[in-house]
Chains A and B, each alone.
Chain A
Amino acid sequence: MARSIVPPYLLARLATADSERFPTATAAARRTLRMDAPRRSARLTLSIEGDALVAELSDAPDREISDAEQRETLPGRVVRREGGEPTGDVAADEAYDGLGATFDLFSEAFGRNSIDGAGLPLRATVHYGRLYDNAFWDGERMVFGDGDGEVFDRFTRSLSVIGHELAHGVTQYSAGLVYEGQSGALNESISDVFGALVEQHARGESAADASWLIGEGLFTEAVQGRALRSMRHPGTGYDDDVLGRDPQPAHMDDYITTDEDDGGVHLNSGIPNRAFALTAEAIGGRAWERAGLIWYDTLTGALNPRVDFAGFAAATVRAASERYGEVSAEADAVRGGWSAVGVTIDGGGSAR
């Protein structure tokens, strides 16, 4: 079986190919071009069954990587488009591959075609700014700095961070969680959840074998730390002379109230992060198959943009109950996850 990403020109060629020789492929290519005009590429899977060539078209990413050339101006110069050869620039190629891995998780595990569910092109800019030690989602594209070289290495090194940024786009196009306080911490946590799942999906890891670390490999060797944060054990990502200790709380008893960081969105996200990791471990197997699906159903369901932890927890229990039954190992695992971090499930009975 051959598997490839099909750029638009090849789809067009297939659509005009010899329809007697490859009737299915030709028809499928025509249908794809006709059905979805904005679509720029599709994935074609070819197999031979007996004497017949069977072609199957499915969603595929449409990526575009730009280089800001160390300026703080977006979008920068385009260096690689979908289907293009590797550039030889490590950051640009890591971004390209990372966007592809993220697309694959959402497509294969949740049936979502890109950020907006409708094949939106995935755009990223690398080499943003001089010694810029951050990565962010600007509402339209992912932006990656090279790091300062003292504390942070380049931000494309971590697949979980690339997935994290793209997941902000998914949240923007679904629940639209307001980036402040508890809804902001949930926005952050959802990006960590799907960032971790991108990494686990790409590696074929089970929940039990996964590191549950976000941003592993971003710190230089000078830093005493493994990662930006740990979903399984929030507050243990690093403990460094200069950076201090990872301040994430793992339980509502330690919830931090602050004006900084948009109300501590990167701090208190440790609480729902741990609830998800515990849920996934309790369910077992591959985290994206059931725990991830429950969180995805929740994110894309009816959710108040200013939902708090308790309201979100209740929504995850409803999502688990709808998909697996109110009395199910999955729903029990979700209740147990929230209970372990001290979140009372709003309106849905107490966490057990």
Chain B
Amino acid sequence: MVAVPHGDGPTAAVVIRVTRSGGVAGIRRTWSVESAESDGWAPLVDGCPWSDEPKSYEPESHGPDRFVWFIEVRAPEPARAAQLPDAAVQGPWRRLVDRVREQGDAVRPTVPPIGEVADE
């Protein structure tokens, strides 16, 4: 499981977090945007082909060292999430990701990654 983005609860109109993992560097990058103004985010979010199953691919279906993207939206509601291979981040997904990266803040990653634990 991945932690829910930090936010101001129902008062924030926009709470979106984009996490990129993998790549040859294996460096996890996270960008987060929180805003009290909806400012055109709702059509951008609603335009993405969300599904009930957040993870929509198998590891064998994409090659080594490709990025894996995890996109979490807490607001605008409903809350939703998707895990995508790099090749799938096109069209509406790409527009959403690019805007979060441009207008959001880079979040310093934690170790181990959020929500995961080392095996005992």
**Number of B positions contacting A (CB below 8 A):** 33
* A269 and B65 alpha carbons, distance in the complex (Å): 13
Query: With contacts A243-B109, A256-B116 known, is A138 near B63, CB below 8 A?
Result: yes
* Stretch from B8-16, B25-33, B35-43, B44-52 forming part of the interface with A: B25-33
Q: Are B113 and A260 in contact (CB under 8 A)?
A: yes
Partner of A256, one of B2, B27, B59, B112: B112
* A262 and B86 alpha carbons, distance in the complex (Å): 12
Q: Are B119 and A178 in contact (CB under 8 A)?
A: no
Partner of A187, one of B64, B106, B117, B119: B64
Q: Are B60 and A165 in contact (CB under 8 A)?
A: no
Cβ of B60: which chain A residues have Cβ within 8 Å of it?
A: 178-180
Q: Are A228 and B27 in contact (CB under 8 A)?
A: yes
Cβ of B66: which chain A residues have Cβ within 8 Å of it?
A: 134, 136
Cβ of A248: which chain B residues have Cβ within 8 Å of it?
A: 26
B106, closest chain A residue (CB): A242
Q: Are A135 and B65 in contact (CB under 8 A)?
A: yes
A139, closest chain B residue (CB): B63
For residue A88, CB closer than 8 A to chain B, the reply is no
- Return A239 CB to nearest CB of chain B, in Å: 10
Cβ of B117: which chain A residues have Cβ within 8 Å of it?
A: 257
Q: Are A260 and B28 in contact (CB under 8 A)?
A: yes
Q: Are A256 and B118 in contact (CB under 8 A)?
A: yes
Partner of A191, one of B25, B64, B70, B109: B64
Cβ of B25: which chain A residues have Cβ within 8 Å of it?
A: 133-134, 152, 215, 218, 228, 266
Q: Are A258 and B22 in contact (CB under 8 A)?
A: no
For residue A83, CB closer than 8 A to chain B, the reply is no
Query: With contacts A247-B109, A256-B116, A257-B117 known, is A215 near B24, CB below 8 A?
Result: yes
Cβ of B28: which chain A residues have Cβ within 8 Å of it?
A: 244, 247, 260-261
Cβ of B70: which chain A residues have Cβ within 8 Å of it?
A: 260
* A320 and B31 alpha carbons, distance in the complex (Å): 46
Partner of B24, one of A135, A139, A184, A247: A135
**Number of A positions contacting B (CB below 8 A):** 48
Query: With contacts A178-B60, A243-B109, A262-B59 known, is A136 near B65, CB below 8 A?
Result: yes
Query: With contacts A257-B119, A261-B68 known, is A137 near B23, CB below 8 A?
Result: no
* A165 and B64 alpha carbons, distance in the complex (Å): 8
Cβ of B68: which chain A residues have Cβ within 8 Å of it?
A: 260-262
For residue A188, CB closer than 8 A to chain B, the reply is yes
For residue B55, CB closer than 8 A to chain A, the reply is yes
Q: Are B111 and A137 in contact (CB under 8 A)?
A: no
Q: Are A258 and B26 in contact (CB under 8 A)?
A: no
Cβ of B118: which chain A residues have Cβ within 8 Å of it?
A: 249, 253-257
For residue A168, CB closer than 8 A to chain B, the reply is yes
Cβ of B111: which chain A residues have Cβ within 8 Å of it?
A: 244-245, 247
Cβ of A257: which chain B residues have Cβ within 8 Å of it?
A: 116-119
Query: With contacts A180-B59, A244-B28 known, is A165 near B23, CB below 8 A?
Result: no
B: residues with CB less than 8 A from A are 2, 19, 21-29, 55, 59-60, 63-68, 70, 83, 106, 108-113, 116-119
6 new A-B contacts at CB < 8 Å, known A136-B23, A241-B108, A257-B117: A188-B64, A242-B106, A244-B110, A245-B111, A260-B2, A260-B19
5 closest A-B pairs by CB: A266-B26, A180-B59, A244-B109, A136-B65, A260-B21
